[in-house]
Chain A
Amino acid sequence: DTGVSQDPRHKITKRGQNVTFRCDPISEHNRLYWYRQTLGQGPEFLTYFQNEAQLEKSRLLSDRFSAERPKGSFSTLEIQRTEQGDSAMYLCASSLALGGYEQYFGPGTRLTVT
């Protein structure tokens, strides 16, 4: 049973560059969530998918952020024109849609924008 995986684990980029992160959920889970965590805070919700449909987006998700889950399996989160304030840990989680209150998290992608 493989858990949620994320790639890359670390990303250093220069301000203004675009970055893309990938998340592979637990195989039988049809819901996939993205969260962002900064130092000293709990994870904050960004967006989530049920199968390939994006059902909710947070106000935190500016128009520089876009997420996709093209075939209802893996998901990508892209940040365009990165800013220093985007530096954070980006976490992916998955769950079952029916009765799946528990979300299982991946190891995260640590983004540093210089």
Chain B
Amino acid sequence: DQQVKQNSPSLSVQEGRISILNCDYTNSMFDYFLWYKKYPAEGPTFLISISSIKDKNEDGRFTVFLNKSAKHLSLHIVPSQPGDSAVYFCAASEYGNKLVFGAGTILRVKS
């Protein structure tokens, strides 16, 4: 039972363009959503988060959008840089407890 799904295993984007990573969830009790970035042989690094009471959160080049009615969130990276190439995980939490992760999307930014 996958409660958090990232349906695109990989995404390739040209440097300077926008990267859009998508995530869907099924559990309506999730109240907080997070994006993590992971390089090989390292642990996930926290990137940006959003509470279920908001629909947008922005931090520099990174913006997360939440559509509660559709149970969908997305991460926008503008402009994309080669250093953004990594695996991106979407995660959700219920009342600040354990995180439930998607399977990840591999982002490749081509220069």
List the interface of chain A (C-beta within 8 A of B).
Answer: 4, 6, 33, 35, 40-45, 48, 56, 58, 91, 93, 95, 99-108, 110
Q: Is B44's beta carbon under 8 Å from chain A?
A: yes
Q: Are A42 and B49 within 8 A (Cβ)?
A: no
Q: Is B103 within 8 A of A42, CB to CB? A: yes
CB atoms of A44 and B44 under 8 A apart? no
Number of residues from B at the complex interface, CB < 8 A: 24
A-B pair count, CB < 8 Å, reads: 61
CB neighbours of B93 from chain A (8 A): 101
A75 nearest CB across to chain B (Å): 15
User: Is B60 at the interface (CB under 8 A from chain A)?
Assistant: no
B45 in contact (CB, < 8 A) = yes
Taking a contact as CB atoms under 8 Å apart, the answer to whether B43 and A48 are in contact is no
| Chain B residue, CB-CB nearest to A103 | B99
| B75 at interface by CB-CB < 8 Å | no
Contact B42 A107 (CB under 8 A): yes
Distance in Å: Cβ of A64 to nearest Cβ of chain B: 21
Q: Are A107 and B43 in contact (CB under 8 A)?
A: yes
CB contact between A45 and one of B42, B43, B98, B103 (< 8 Å): that residue = B98
Query: Can you sample 18 A-B contacts with CB below 8 Å?
Result: A33-B98, A41-B103, A42-B101, A44-B101, A45-B98, A48-B98, A56-B98, A91-B44, A93-B43, A95-B96, A101-B34, A101-B51, A101-B93, A105-B36, A105-B46, A106-B43, A108-B42, A110-B41
- A42 (CB) vs chain B CBs: closest residue: B101
Given A42-B101, A44-B101, answer yes or no on A105-B45 (Cβ-Cβ < 8 Å): yes
Which residues of A are found within 8 Å of B4, using beta-carbon distances? 42
Instruction: Give B1-16 interface residues, CB cut-off 8 Å to A.
Output: 4
Residue of A nearest to B96 (CB): A101
What 0/1 pattern do residues 23 to 58 of B give for CB contact below 8 A with A?
000000000101010000111111001010000000
- Asked if A103 contacts B97 (CB within 8 A), the reply is no
Contacts of A110 in B (CB 8 A): 41
- When C-beta atoms are compared, the residue in chain A nearest to B9 turns out to be A40
